[in-house]
Amino acid sequence: NITANEPQFTGHFPENPIMPGVLQVEALAQLAGVVCMQPGDQVLFAGIDGVKFRKPVVPGDTLVMEVEVKKFREKVGIAKITGAAYVDGTKVLEVKEFTCALVKEKK
C-alpha cells in the first residue's frame, strides 16, 4: 500500500506526488531475489532489461507485484526473471528481464 506519508513524497513532486520508478523497480527486484533464494543465500542484482513504466503510482494505490522465474542455472547461481506490477488490475510497470546472482552460504 502506497501512503502519502512515505519520505520519498516530500521531495518527489510534493504538489503531485508519484512513487519514484527506481523504488518500484527495486521492490520488484527484491521480490525476484526472494523467490530464488534459499536460507543463507545472498542475492545480488546483476542486471535489468526492458523496463517500461505504464502509469504513475500515487498515494492511495495498492501496488501488486508478480515475478516469474524463466531460467534458473542452479550450479552457477544465475536466475533470469520477468516481472510486472499492477494497480487495480492495470499494469503500471513491467520488466522484461532481471538477472540475479545467488551466492551460496559458505559452510
pLDDT band at 96 (very low <50, low <70, confident <90, very high): very high
Distance CA 24, CA 68 (A): 17
Candidate list 6, 12, 20, 99, residue with the active-site label: 12
Query: Per-residue pLDDT tens for 22-60?
Result: 999 999 999 998 888 878 888 898 999 999 999 999 999
Comparing 13 with 52, the larger pLDDT belongs to 52
Residue 43 designated active-site: no
Q: How many C-beta neighbours within 10 Å does residue 14 have?
A: 8
The neighbouring-strand residues paired with 27 are: none
Distance CA 28, CA 94 (A): 9
pLDDT band at 11 (very low <50, low <70, confident <90, very high): confident
